[in-house]
């Protein structure tokens, strides 16, 4: 819980507005396709807004609104800007439950809209002083944003983590080494020569384990990627775990069209059990955070009164 709170503060520390006399602002959840010709602010359906505001005890509950610009619409809510300064969020670290509720609220609104139509999620804590600033950002990037919305239409994000059993990989590589000439030389070697051969075999073992682990990670990713229209994969900077447990060797975000959902779930479900030395864990479907984060406009656009 503390990790989530600290991550939220770190994400917003450099972009949140300072407290100003006119404290009203507009919280941006994301950008979606405009579905009406009405001008100005339009109330969003209650179906997207069925949870109590996380700061309702402080600010009162404000309805979600749609702000149209061209073929786009911003999903926004009137808030008190001082509730979203870096200082305010830092203060919430003493009550992480409250900050976690705020983050969950942000994600719940995005997820509700995502179920009905594509949305480009905004990062947590994005508050604009004026609706004109939001409209200007959409106007400036209109065509690129619209193309991105259309590309994401009907797609979900899935998170996949691939793990390898280091003991299993090591045993397999050792078995491969057993039939090699160096092993036979070691059996009849003098002590000095035997020491040199053992060091060489151990170095080769380490290198082969690394290559085998890399091969397993790539093989897993290739199997998932064939079902996705886009992927973002990375190797963890630090391979956690050790000989006593599995190690995570790959993290991937998959953008998958909903018509392939059943096929993907079947593939991931099969891989959740160990597959020749590796297994995966997965979650989803989610809004496409890894593929469509929206952050148009400068800090000045967001913070001017």
Across 84-102, average pLDDT: 80
CA distance 106 to 116: 17
User: Is residue 56 scored above 60 in pLDDT?
Assistant: no
Determine the angle formed by the axes of helices 142-152 and 131-140, rounding to 10 degrees.
80
H/E element, 239? none
Q: Quick one: pLDDT at residue 193?
A: 64
In this structure, of 19-23, 57-61, 78-82, 177-181, the range with the lowest mean pLDDT score is: 57-61
Q: Quick one: pLDDT at residue 204?
A: 76
Q: Quick one: pLDDT at residue 189?
A: 60
User: Is residue 283 scored above 70 in pLDDT?
Assistant: yes
CA distance 96 to 6: 9
User: Is residue 68 scored above 80 in pLDDT?
Assistant: yes
Q: Quick one: pLDDT at residue 15?
A: 42
In this structure, of 48-62, 164-178, 232-246, the range with the lowest mean pLDDT score is: 48-62
User: Is residue 5 scored above 50 in pLDDT?
Assistant: no
Q: How far is CA 183 from CA 19, 93, 177, 279, in A?
A: 72, 58, 7, 31
User: Is residue 242 scored above 50 in pLDDT?
Assistant: no
pTM of the model: 0.71
Across 282-299, average pLDDT: 73
CA distance 66 to 69: 10
User: Is residue 163 scored above 90 in pLDDT?
Assistant: no
Q: Quick one: pLDDT at residue 44?
A: 62
CA distance 20 to 18: 6
Across 138-151, average pLDDT: 93
For all residues of the chain together, what is the average pLDDT?
75
């Amino acid at each position: 819980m503390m990790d989530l709170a600290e991550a939220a503060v770190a994400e917003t520390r450099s972009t949140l507005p300072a407290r100003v006399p006119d404290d009203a602002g507009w919280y941006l959840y994301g950008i979606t396709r405009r579905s009406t010709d009405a001008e100005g602010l339009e109330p969003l359906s209650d179906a997207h807004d069925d949870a109590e505001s996380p700061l309702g005890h402080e600010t009162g509950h404000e309805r979600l609104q749609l702000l149209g610009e061209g073929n786009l619409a911003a999903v926004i809510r009137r808030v008190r800007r001082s509730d979203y300064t870096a200082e305010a969020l830092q203060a919430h670290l003493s009550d992480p439950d409250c900050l976690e509720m705020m983050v969950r609220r942000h994600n719940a609104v995005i997820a509700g809209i995502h179920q009905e139509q594509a949305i480009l999620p905004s990062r947590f804590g994005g508050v604009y002083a004026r609706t004109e600033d939001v409209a200007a950002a959409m106007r400036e990037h209109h065509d690129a944003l619209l193309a991105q919305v259309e590309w994401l239409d009907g797609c979900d994000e899935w998170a996949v983590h691939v793990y390898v059993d280091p003991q299993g990989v090591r045993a397999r590589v050792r078995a491969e080494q057993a039939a090699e000439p160096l092993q036979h030389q070691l059996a009849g070697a003098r002590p000095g020569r035997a020491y040199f051969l053992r060091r060489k075999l151990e170095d080769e073992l380490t290198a082969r384990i690394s290559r085998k682990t890399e091969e397993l990670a790539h093989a897993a990713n290739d199997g998932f990627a064939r079902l996705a229209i886009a992927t973002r994969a990375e190797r963890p900077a630090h391979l956690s775990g050790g000989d006593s447990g599995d190690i995570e060797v790959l993290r991937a975000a998959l953008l998958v069209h909903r018509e392939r959902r059943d096929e993907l779930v079947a593939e991931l479900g099969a891989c959740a059990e160990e597959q020749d030395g590796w297994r995966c864990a997965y979650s989803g479907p989610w809004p496409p955070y890894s593929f469509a984060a929206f952050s148009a406009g400068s800090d000045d656009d967001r913070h001017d009164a």
